[in-house]
Structures are given as C-alpha cells and as structure tokens.
Amino acid sequence: MSSRRPGVLELAVLGILHEAPMHGYELRKRLNSVLGMFRAFGYGSLYPCLKELLRQGLIAEETRPGAKPLAGRKSKIVYRLTAEGKERLQDLLGQAGPAAWEDDGFGVHFAFFGMTEADIRMRILEGRRSRLEERLDGVRAAMSRTRERLDAYTLELQRHGLESVEREVRWLNELIASERKSGPATRWDAEGHEEGSPGGRIG
C-alpha cells in the first residue's frame, strides 16, 4: 500500500517469481534472458530490490523441508511470491497507464501479457501506438519546419529513427488486429496455468 513507485525491476521480479520460485543469481539470468534485448540488470540492482520486496512482504524466503540451517548464511536463498505479492503483481499488470507504454515499461508489461486481461492488453498496445505516433508527428513536424538544417549524420539518424518507429507501429497494428480477432475475454493464465495457448503466432 505504501506509495513506492513501481520501476521496471519490481514488476519484472514479481512476474518471474510468479512462474517459479528462484534464488537471486538464477533470477538475474532469467531476467536478462527475458528482457535481454531491452535492459540488463546487475546484482547491485537486483539484491536491494529483493530486500525491499521482502520487507514489503511481497516475496518470502522459501523454507524447503529438508533444508540446511545455515548459521553463517551464505548459501542459496530461494524466493517465492507471497499472496500479497501475487495481488501486487495483478495490480501492476492491471494498470494501463503511461508506465505501461512508455519505452521503459512497455517491454516488461508486454512480456507478462500472458497474465494480463485482454482489455488491458488492448489499452496498452493502443496507448503505445498513440505514443509512438505522437513522436512521429513531432519529428516530422520538426523536419518540415525546414528552418533547422541538419547535417548528414543527424539526418541519417532521424531517418533511421523514423523507420524504426514506423516499424514498431506496424508491429503494434498487427498485434492489435490479432487481439481483436481472438475477441475480448481471452486470458490464458493468471492462476493455475494450463498449457493450452494459441497456435502459430499470437492470435
């Protein structure tokens, strides 16, 4: 409840721990393999985050039955999501705001779309598309305000940037169309996850 601002890492950790309990080192690898293209976190980021989540009661240290009562504990510590943690995760995934479609957050939110309700998924996809289209408009406007004469490199950067963003918009369009075909009310996971996910691509 205490108003700590999310940040990508918290969501990512909760999301991954929802799949399975894990210890820090493993978690980091999984983290960077899921989000590898967008971000990479170090231990210096992860462990403080785990500590904080623990303090908030969103995760707990697993106590395996036949475990070792290490006194001078410097052994594996397996974390699992608590009930509050699951709640918090669902809460974060249920919010379709800027945090979910800005550059920082989008990747992580998308990665956990499998646990996200269909209407939220749609709102986030559309939100991101609008955001990118605003950006396109902005840059295009700036370019036609031909006052600003840019050198060849800056121009090339613009060109490449535009192309990349246009490409992402097309991708989003496909995803949105795909989501619409599947109709609303599709949500595969959330609690007990069975294996029956859609076929070829996404839709």
- In angstroms, the CA 24 to CA 29 distance is 9
158 binds, among DNA, a copy of itself, none (CB under 5 to 8 A by kind): a copy of itself
Among 6, 82, 188, 190, binds a copy of itself (CB under 8 A): 188
Token digits of residue 18: 């929802």
**Alpha-carbon dihedral 140, 142, 148, 149, rounded to 10 degrees:** -10
CA distance 79 to 52: 13
- Half-sphere exposure for 152 (CA within 13 Å, toward CB): 0
| Rounded Cα–Cα distance for residues 29 and 25 (Å) | 7
Residue 143, helix vs strand vs coil: helix
Residue 185 found at the interface with a copy of itself (CB under 8 A): no
Q: Tell me how many residues contact a copy of itself (CB under 8 A).
A: 41
Q: Which does 191 bind (CB under 5 to 8 A by kind): a copy of itself, DNA, none?
A: none
Binding site for DNA (CB under 7 A): 4-10, 23-26, 39-45, 47-51, 72-77, 104
Q: Which residues bind a copy of itself (CB under 8 A)?
A: 30, 32-34, 36-38, 107, 110-114, 135, 138-139, 142, 148, 150-154, 156-158, 160-162, 164-165, 167-168, 171, 175, 188-189, 197-198, 201-202
